[in-house]
Structure 1
Amino acid sequence: MFGSAQEPVVSPAAAEGPASYRKSLALLASLFFMWGFITVINNTLLPHLRSVFELNYTQTTLIESVWFIAYFVASIPAAFLIERVGYKKAIIIGLIVMAVGALGMVPAARIPSFGVTLGALFVIACGIALLQVAANPYVAVIGPPESSESRLTLVQAFNSMGTFFAPYFGGYLILSRTVSGTSLEGTQITLEQRMADAQATQLPYILVAVVLVAIAIVVARSSLPTLGSGTRRANAEERKRLSLWKHRNLVFAVPAIFIYLIAEIGVANLFISFVILPEIAGITPAQAANYLILLWGGMMVGRFSGSFLMRRFPATRVLAAFALFATVVMIGAATLHGPIAMWCLILVGLGHSIMFPAIFAMGIKGLGPLTEEASGLLIMAIAGGALVIVQGWLADQFGLQASFWLTVACELYVLWYALWGSKPTNDASAEDMQPAEA
């Protein structure tokens, strides 16, 4: 049984839709904001760590690979945890795990230690994976199924709002307060300066930990509706006649999420390193962080506008249009030089904006009692971000700009999924739709 007896029960196709659960959705939006915020702080942190630990591109992208390996490790256990303790307690646990990881960045900066840094980031990512497994399907099924893509895209816009503010926060509290962050590419930094720079990460992560604990307290004092039995993990008897792999929209959504994350994380993590190149914009990392804000701002604008468009046009067509746009601008980023190449990379944020929520909602459409299990698989596919290390290797071997051809290939798969792979089969949502007992 999910949740406590005091929590209201929600059937996945509740006719009243999300309006009746506005407070719950607003609270969930704060979670989306925070995990977007923390994830993108890493993008600001990467060039800083690259200088402190004198890393090459492969080692730098290893940091983000460890982050996304956590999704692979934690997502399926998270689905079992949600079944055991309910959505509300799982969300609180996820927030506390994230806070512990954020505090782990303090000793990592004091030592300083690359290994401890990787460990702390892994713990934070495990907490985020738990939140993702809980919150994404909750938002997708809490209202009418025909508007699930629009609803999830709208709430994901608050995730993008977090990603929009994070580069400014990280740029101000980390990059602008360090020697490496205010120096041009190629400037020699002494050992003493690098050790002093390492301390700059302590305050931002202490503040993040405090906010996470505060949100956990708010969630603990709130009343979140419990999802009905139509979205519960199927019991042993039901499981014999239900199969995830008979749902084409899910089967192709898992690699779509995996591949999309390679594109999104590759662009975000290598953005600053790309923009500071003399042949592109030739600016400092601190200045480049301001342009990174525009990349994430484009994702926020795209999600708000995408949510609006998906209420008027088929979600598959909207996703296809955004994927085609992303393909075009990424070809520009991979081939052009000067500021225009930088602006192409900024604009891909607009193309990427609706991809995750649209693919996720399409992937679980018609899954009914298999929704939780499918959600665990889709969140596990976020581990695709770990393969950003492949782009780091390509950058070391063939040049940073040439490595963006990998991103172009990723956009093309999402375009294919929108046009064909997302078509649902074997609707299971009509079965087992009675509300769970409170």
Structure 2
Amino acid sequence: MQISSAALLKASSAATTPPTLAERYRAVRQASLALAAPLSAEDAMLQSLPDASPAKWHLAHTSWFFEHFVLGTQPGHQPLQPDWQVLFNSYYQSIGPAHARAQRGLLSRPTLAQVLEYRAQVDQRIGDCLRAGHLDAVARQHLLLGLQHEQQHQELLLTDLKHALWSNPLQPAYRDDLPLPTPTPAAGAAVWIEHPERIVEIGAPAWPAHARFAYDNESPRHRVLVPAHALADRPLSNAEFRAFIDDGGYRDPLLWMSEGWARVQAECWSHPLYWDPALEREYTLGGWRALDPDAPVCHLSWFEADACARWAGARLPGEFEWEATAAACPAAGNFADAGLLHPVAQPSLGAGAPRQLFGDVWEWTASAYGAYPGFRPLAGSAAEYNGKFMCGQYVLRGGSCATPAGHVRASYRNFFPPAARWQFSGLRLARDL
């Protein structure tokens, strides 16, 4: 019997008392297995992009993370699979060498069955440690970090697999039973929400010194001056991006950054990834579907988002402008737990209230990914988690329809290179006042 990840996580959130660490661990780990359940062994080793990874590798790497960072703190622990340490390390050079990222799809061995058995062994040992109270404060912190890390990989499993299946000439669906969204009133014209110049607090208190989890790249919390600006009340829609295409947006070099224009020419970009050439359908995790004009446009690179914003006489928001608005809104929306696994249109909330800041699509910002003043990475090898990628990338905010519910917050900073298109990434317009 297949259990959906949404059902598992809803069951946990429905409890009258907060889940224990052991219960949360089981729920997150089972959610990954639920996402992988529709896959064959052949599906699970597909890799169609150098920056993507096979589903089998995601399942193994997240287990390796728990084994190294949690079980590795236990006296006398020996690696469960010593020969796999290089295979499933990602980029922790302080730990040791790692198999080349672009060649993860060549790892036909170990088999999917062996990887699943390895997961079960790790889970058994983690469970034993939790029941016996053997995990000290550092190990428990690493366990909490590992749960957040696994949720990130749950989203990557979906986005990477979507590209792999789309790359197959048959373009099969990940799941034929994914529901269509419930019809809603048209999204309507975007409304500009004006904000005066102000000083705001940005970021999250440093964890684990502060009990509430946040990644190290979200801290320290600090004050910034946000200039007067306006934000659109919703993300840009498919219909609005179609107007950019129809007006020659992909043919006008004046709209593009130089590197972006070179990409357009070299890779023949003429529409978002997964749209058909007729601009009428898009490939989804549920297969090909008619393009919903009111739904948020997705699978855009930063270059495409930036060019479209310029065409619209606007710009991308700075990440502090975005966070200052999102901090006053609940982190609720169309996340993976809703089971749609695709962005959907949402009706206006009225009175200029912002909508869809969380879920549906990650929103590109104009902000380069860098360190906050006074940034301190996590201790030990975990310092490699975020800080060393603060070069040549842009910040995205808000989560997507493939992000697990409860994983993001207003201060959450995602980041990708500007040419990345395979994530559920879109944009919200901003302008100066």
TM bracket, shorter-chain basis: under 0.3
Structure-2-length-normalised TM-score: 0.28
Structure-1-length-normalised TM-score: 0.28
Q: Larger % of helix: which?
A: 1
Q: Larger % of strand: which?
A: 2
Q: Higher relative CO (CA 8 A, sep ≥ 6), structure 1 or 2? A: 1
